[in-house]
Amino acid sequence: KKINVGIVFGGKSAEHEVSLMSATSIMKAIDKEKYNVIPIGITKEGSWMIYNGPIEKIENGEWEGISNKLLRDKPKENIFSIIPIGKKECQTLDGIPPKLESKIDVIFPVLHGPYGEDGTIQGLLEMADIPYVGAGVLASAMCMDKIYAKKIFELQGLNVVEYFVVLRHKLKNHINDYIDIIEKNFQYPVFIKPANLGSSLGISKAHNREKLIEGLKEAAKHDRKILIERSILCREIECAVLGNDEPKASVVGEIVPSHEFYDYEAKYFDDGKSKLIIPADIPKNKSDEVRQMAITAYKALDCTGLSRVDFFLEKETNKIYINEINTMPGFTKYSMYPLLWQETGLPYDKLIDKLIQLALERYKDKK
């Protein structure tokens, strides 16, 4: 019997477009002999839609115009009473309504950032009693919040870059006090980040006071909590982790950004000028250390399914710092996470299969 996989894409976060790219790749590569794909799109405004048009119209946003609205028209209905397949409006990618009476067997929430990667949709799926790919509620929430993730990293004795937290409401009336504190504790340049986001959105690198103020204001547009970090002169190393109770680490990769840092443009709109080097050309003892740290962090934050763990290798000291964990990393065929597994021996389509199986196992383990 084929497994019905709901692939959720889009979403309310600023990483909406990134999600469209990840989900498109997954829908193209997923084993159609084994899985029925039910695409479920979420618009930027938060409307849920059942989509059964061509995969090619997802990335450019055209899917929205040719989908059936789920929630907006029937806001009082439980979303999961509408999603169950077998109804006319719910079709697989091939346009054939699946014959099974059962509901969706498993959801792959291919959503990045808030309302996707942060435990909120995970909570909804827990309540609906539907298995889903990736980390659970707590792990998702902790990893999304860079401040809480750092606190747990520190508890584990993992090196984190020096940081400082400012709340948005304090910036309104006391911005100069905070600038003074930051300037006393850090040398320029510093990094400024919203606590909860991804794809470098809202992040800036400030070389002076004026840019610091600008950066704080920019980050405050995205989040009520803002992080200031020492800017570290480093090589950027990433490691992919896969599994539930016995997670495995991939080979490590290096990112060489085409910009001053790996910002949104360098990540997605740079025609490959940023380089992914897989495996990273670093000594074996360093890559072993990274992989060990990745597993330690993954377990400490109670991750399941998958995560990409991001590190800095400081040039001057050769010290490794953990930066963050992404519980739903970019997932196109050319993204770091799948490429790391490919190099480790697990190709893209097999990786998708493995993730769905891990979701089903995790669900069974809970019972």
Contact positions toward ligand ATP, by CB under 6 A? Answer: 161, 191, 193, 197-200, 203, 229-232, 234, 236, 257, 261-262, 310, 323-324, 326
CB contact at 8 A, 118 and 144: yes
Residue 186 interacting partner from Mg ion, ligand ATP, none (CB closer than 5 to 8 Å by kind): none
Smallest distance from ligand ATP to CB 255, Å: 7
Residue for token pair 């309504």: 97
Shorter beta-carbon distance to ligand ATP: residue 257 or 279: 257
SS (H, E, C) 101-154: CCCCCEEEECCCCCCCCCCHHHHHHHHHCCCECCCCHHHHHHHHCHHHHHHHHH
Least Å distance, CB 199 to Mg ion, is: 6
Distance CA 17, CA 61 (A): 9
Select 231 or 287, whichever has its Cβ closest to ligand ATP: 231
N-term to C-term CA, the chain:
22
Per-residue CA distances from 269 to 113, 223, 258, 264, 281 (Å): 19, 24, 11, 8, 25
Closer of 85 and 228 to ligand ATP (Cβ)? 228
- What is the spatial distance between Cα 195 and Cα 141, in angstroms, rounded to a whole number? 11
Beta carbons of 193 and 146 less than 8 angstroms apart? yes
Least gap, CB of 113 to ligand ATP (angstroms): 8
Q: Between residues 67 and 326, which has the closer beta carbon with respect to Mg ion? A: 326
When CB distances are held under 5 to 8 angstroms depending on the partner's kind, the choice from Mg ion, ligand ATP, none that residue 137 binds is: none
Q: Which residue is nearest to Mg ion (CB)?
A: 198
Judged by beta carbon distances under 5 to 8 A according to partner kind, the member of ligand ATP, Mg ion, none in contact with residue 105 is none
Choose among ligand ATP, Mg ion, none what residue 97 binds, the Cβ cut-off being 5 to 8 Å by kind: none
Contact by Cβ (8 Å): 204, 219: yes
Q: How far is the CB of 165 from ligand ATP (least distance, A)?
A: 14
CB of 334 to ligand ATP, least distance (A): 14
* CA atoms within 13 Å, Cβ hemisphere of 356: 23
Using rule CB under 5 A, residue 198 touches Mg ion: yes
Amino acid letter, 240 = A
Specify the residue, 18 or 50, whose C-beta has the smaller distance to ligand ATP. 18
Helix (H, G, I), strand (E, B) or coil at 39: strand
Task: Name residues whose C-beta falls within 8 Å of residue 194's C-beta, 6 or more positions apart in sequence.
Answer: 201, 202, 203, 219, 220, 222, 223, 225, 226, 227
> Which of Mg ion, ligand ATP, none sits in contact with 19, Cβ below 5 to 8 A by type?
none
State the binding partner of 92 from ligand ATP, Mg ion, none, CB within 5 to 8 A by kind.
none
Per partner kind, with CB cut-offs from 5 to 8 A, the member of Mg ion, ligand ATP, none near residue 41 is: none
Query: Within 273-332, which residues bind Mg ion (CB under 5 A)?
Result: 310, 324, 326
Which residues make up the interface to Mg ion (CB under 5 A)?
Answer: 198, 310, 324, 326
